[in-house]
Amino acid sequence: MSNFKEGKVSSVTVDARRSLGQLDRNVFGGFVEHLGRCIYGGMFEEGSPLSNAEGFRTDVLELLRPLRMGVLRWPGGNFVSNYHWADGIGPREDRPRRVELAWGAEEPNRFGTDEFLAYCAELGVTPYICLNMGTGSLEEALAWVEYCNSTAHSYWADRRRQYGHEAPYGVPYWGLGNEMYGEWQIGQLTAEEYVKEAKRWALAIRRLDPQAKLVSCGQTGWEDWDRVVIDGMARLVDFHSVHLYTGSADYWTNVLSPHQAERAIQYTSAWIAHAVYSQRLPQTPRIAYDEWNVWYRTMDSTLEERYSFADAIAVATYLNIFVRHCRWVTMANLAQMVNAIAPIVTTKEGVFVQPIYYPFLMHARSALDEAVDAHVIAPTVEAPVPAAGDRWHEHRIADLGPFPVLDAAATVNTARTKVAVTIVNRSTEEARGVEVLLRGLAFSGDARVSTLTAGTHRPAPDIEGAKVEERSEPTKDDRIVVDLPASSFTVIETATAAAK
């Protein structure tokens, strides 16, 4: 049960003078894995009347484009720890079919490196490839980097040319393995073993491609694994990855659990700062939240989660958190994008979106260049104690509370002529009027207000509805008053001018 503490009238004070950091568009990133119907039958379906000549589902592309993803991670995930990338290049009819050990499937290798990079080009996103540190070798990893990025007339670069790609792809981001700490991973390592091996890989990859941006394999951000890996790898990498999934059938546990991401950021950033200071490093690695989502219902080999509107509230909160902590979090990848724990669901005949699609869309289209301070005053709620049967009951967040029922973030453009405020109303009991106050600037003209609420229309029998309504609201000098429906997500966008 929630425990509300009534206080003053709800308000969000946005201080444009208090910068929280530059917001990297890679915070609105995605992740696709060879898992269930994410790739095959999802984003890629050869022979479908809904696909283009390359086999890409055009209806899926049309839904992904508005998300304006900065980066797309592939091919895993657990899948990558038994994936040999050279199986997936060359003529498709010549590619071998392999047993896939992570999810108990068969991999036809019809969608490989060239297809992935063509897909990224189609979407206008930056590719991020995760390397196989399970059954893979350093030699194999170097060959993959060479194939993608080398300008030399060498074996693997010439293979790329042979298959129709004269110019190098210039893949910037390379992950040094995926979840190598986990017993579910092919080739599990201890943290010390991982550091020893990852150092070899990082040094060799940088010799081949000095411009490569490397991502060390992190856990939750607060585990000993993270501390050991950061201490050992901070000198050699650009990012430390963090993975976090939350979710619960209990409403308040579900919508408040994303705040565990703030604990992860606090721990991870402290360990990075310690390594940078104690080792006198010239560069500071950042955090790549390269897997995150609500996921707790489906644990089979397809992971076709069906999302509720409460999950959309949680996703909106995650993105608020990443915006507020953009000084440290410079990449975040929603896991995943199509069918498997995804905002987009396909059938043979068409495509649908789940409620979690909308907060990602609204955040991505409204976010501006720089995050600024947004201080919330609202009634508060205590976090429930997670039930023992919850999938993620170890995510205890009570010590981070109490939590305002409103959660907010704000961004401004570089010229300070625009502001966007994103507000989650987690209260199920009532609509709330909120006064948004602007410090350091004044509002200029009417504001565009977009509000996401649960919808009564289901796009498909097993998919919950959601609706976005847009309206114009007047502003006065440094304030605007907006009504927030119960269980809603609202974006306020307006022009700004110098304060009077």
State the catalytic residues: 179, 291
Tell me the C-alpha distance between 409 and 376, whole Å.
Answer: 9
DSSP per-residue string spanning 119-181: HHHHHT-EEEEE---SS--HHHHHHHHHHHH--SS-HHHHHHHHTT--S-----EEES-S-TT
For residue 201, is it left (φ>0), alpha (ψ between -120 and 50) or beta? alpha
**What value does the CA radius of gyration of the chain take, rounded to a whole number of Å?**
23
DSSP per-residue string spanning 301-349: SS------HHHHHHHHHHHHHHHHTTTTEEEEEEE-SBSTT-SEEE-SS
Query: 469: which 2 tokens?
Result: 């309504």
Identify the three-state secondary structure at position 44. Answer: strand
Identify the three-state secondary structure at position 263. Answer: helix
Query: 319: which 2 tokens?
Result: 């993105």
Tell me the C-alpha distance between 408 and 361, whole Å.
Answer: 17
Tell me the C-alpha distance between 355 and 334, whole Å.
Answer: 14
For residue 267, is it left (φ>0), alpha (ψ between -120 and 50) or beta? alpha
Tell me the C-alpha distance between 94 and 442, whole Å.
Answer: 63
The closest alpha carbon to 175, from 127, 233, 129, belongs to: 129
**Angle separating helix axes 113-123 and 138-149, nearest 10 degrees:** 40
